[in-house]
Structure 1
Amino acid sequence: MFKNLLIYRLAETWQPDLAALQEAADAATFIPCGATQPISAGWVAPRGRAHGTLVEPVGGHWLMRLMVEQKVLPGSVVKRRIDEMAERIEADTGRKPGKKQRKDMKDQAQLELLPQAFTRQIGLPVWIAPEQGLLMIDAASTARADEVITLLTKGLAGFSIEPIHTALAPSTAMAGWLLAGATHAADGEPPEAAIEPPAVFTIDRDCELKAPDESKSVVRYARHPLDTDEVRSHIEQGKRPTRLALTWNGRVSFMLTEQMVLKKIEFLDGVHEGQPTGNSRDADEAFDADAAIATGELIRLIPDLLDALGGEQQPGLYAPVDAPAALPPRLPDTPASDEPPPWE
């Protein structure tokens, strides 16, 4: 049900109200793009049923789904249309269009081509845990999550969220865990920066390390042991973990990023034990069961993860623990390479 998870803290100034949330969703239902509309966003039924309920309460959790539809206009098609327009102007006037005129031509070309453009739809599952005061969004990027937050803010009076801060930056904690693992494997003395991972988490076999300096060098491991001298050497030389594969309690595996985003979430075999499979359950039973399992597991995983990162800091009191001297400063958010990691 969830593949990625961006986690936010609901502001204490907003009191969750299911009726108000349902009313706001009904007022912002999804409508496909019009002929010249480049993008449209709105709520659809989480169960995938036409005209279904837009907010589904399951076990004390509220599930929603934002649909984003966008017209796809390839740049080459727009450029070809601009060139045609420019050639016509040059033939009529004897001069080439200037920079400002070409910009106006681009706007005109896009307007003309939008009715013929293909559309792409992206569904974003949204999960509100009112008792825990959390908002979770299944999105591949913060830009997509912002679309959810914007729509909720517009529709709900007083709605706001706050970023979650932890005492340890995720990259600092991940580096410490890797150093501790490599030290145990070599049966040596742990360095000062080593941090024992909590017992509920195990380190898996995928990792990405980046250098924070101008070299922007990247090392990626896929399905590879990480408790090695080679990994330890990369960290001690200055590279920082930006992604690390973990498993929680033998039940949920995921990739933790330096922004504390959970990616590639997978519920392991034991989680679904005893659940009917295949055609033995209808769509509603499947949705209810999957939702109960996903929210039930993840709502226990999240506090364990926050504890593993030193605990959540109160809003306005964010004072992250400094990285030990053996570790370099945090990386900027800009990626070192456009090449996707092998596990994407």
Structure 2
Amino acid sequence: MWFKNLLIYRFTKPFELSAEQVEEKLQEFAFKPCASQDMSTLGWVKPLGQQGSELVHTNNGCIMVCSQRQDKVLPAAVIKDALEEKVLTIREDEDRIPSRKERTDMKEQLIFEMLPRAFVKSRRQFAYIDPANGWLIVDSGSHSRAEELIVLLRDSLGSMPVIPVAPKNTAYHTMTHWLQSAAPAGFELGGECELIDSADESAVIRCKNQNLASKEILNHIDSGMLVKKLALSWSGGIEFMVDEQLTVKRLRFSDMIMERADEIHTDTAAEQFDVNFSIMNAELANFIPALLEAFGGEDTSALEAA
């Protein structure tokens, strides 16, 4: 359950629904597996899986939700081969070449016939609402996937007034400054970064297991390169990679934090999930403000305009 990525969104209006109200509204959009002719389906599942009974899980006032997407898998090569076989049969039996429209119709018919027998793949995505801090936290490194969950929340709850958190200071220049001088208070530089050319973003240098304060790295910066991604560790016990959009990836909680969770006796997987979620959201409630402060604080101009 421990999140591996963080996409942080700010509510532009206070979130005032109770967990019970959220549960009731999510029920209408509960996940249903793909029917025979469905290419994909999306809905809410129980965060606790088979151990749970509800579509929300609450702790410390935070509301955890989990979406599930299921997609039919029809490899393009399989459809292409089947179509070419049909075209070849027509050429041999009728001595003619099917038109473009006829080929399109045949392809659609093939997909219709194959869908009920297609393999399916599923993926889940966790997120939680923190009403006290005004955040929606999504365990995703992809804004498009996070947006899929947000749209589903908006459809389910009637509204979801959130925007990505933004720092006051430009992330590119802030992270570049850290390499030139020092990491902000409470943070330490890791051993990995990604540099881009300020004049040509297609020019990229990736550094791994490097001393980021070395002369070699600084020479790249002096030549006009900027930091796009940077590995950091926070004194509160979290290691991570952050990029220019404040997307946090490869999130890792320290052994000390994980041991605290292990020291609490639990009898079931559901109880352990609850303990992990409680510790995680408490740690992130301290980490996120520290991260935003490192970038000069949160830019609230969009909130004031909302």
**TM-score when scaled to structure 2?**
0.91
CA distance in 2, matches of 1:50, 1:283: 7
**Alpha-carbon spacing, 1:304–1:30, altered in 2? closer, same or farther (3 Å):** same
Could you tell me which residue of structure 2 aligns to residue 105 of structure 1? 106
Indicate the structure with greater strand content.
2
In structure 1, the partner of 2:121 is 120
Residue correspondence of structure 1 range 1-344 to structure 2 within 5 A? 1-12=2-13, 15-49=16-50, 52-181=53-182, 197-214=183-200, 216-276=202-262, 281-316=267-302
Could you say if the C-alpha distance between residues 29 and 101 of structure 1 is closer, same or farther in structure 2, counting changes exceeding 3 Å? same
Q: Per the alignment, do residues 317 and 57 of structure 1 end up closer, same or farther by CA in structure 2, a change over 3 Å counting?
A: closer
The alpha-carbon distance between structure 1 residues 316 and 279, as it changes in their structure 2 partners (threshold 3 A), is closer
How well do the aligned residues superpose, as a CA RMSD in angstroms?
Answer: 2.3
Question: Are the equivalent residues in 2 in contact too, given 1:168–1:310 (CA < 8 A)?
Answer: yes
CA shift for structure 1 position 317: 7.3
> Size of the alignment, in residue pairs?
303
Q: Is the 8 A contact 2:194 2:205 kept in 1?
A: yes
Instruction: Describe the shift of the 1:275–1:316 C-alpha distance in structure 2 as closer, same or farther (beyond 3 A).
Output: closer
1:77 Cα offset (Å): 1.0
Deviation >4 Å, runs of 4+: 212-215, 277-281
Per the TM alignment, residue 163 of structure 1 is displaced from its structure 2 partner at its CA by 2.4
Gaps in structure 2 of 5+ consecutive residues? none
Structure 1 residue 149, shift from structure 2 partner: 0.8
| 1:91 aligned counterpart, secondary structure | helix
| Partner AA of 1:6 in structure 2 | L
Give the aligned residue type for 1:265.
Answer: L
After superposing the two structures, state which structure 1 stretch, 53-62 or 80-89, moved more.
Answer: 80-89
5+ unaligned residues in a row in structure 1: which ranges? Answer: 182-196, 319-344
Q: By percentage of residues, which structure has more helix? A: 2
SS at match of 2:9: strand
Aligned to 1:159, what secondary structure does the other structure show?
A: coil
For residue 316 of structure 1, give the secondary structure of its aligned residue in structure 2: helix
Q: Aligned to 2:181, what secondary structure does the other structure show?
A: helix
8 Å contact kept, 2:194–2:204: yes
> What is the SS of the residue equivalent to 1:108?
helix
Question: What is the aligned-residue identity percentage?
Answer: 33
Using the size of structure 1 for normalisation, the TM-score is 0.81
Distance 1:101 1:173 in 2: 57
Give the letter for the 1:204 counterpart: G
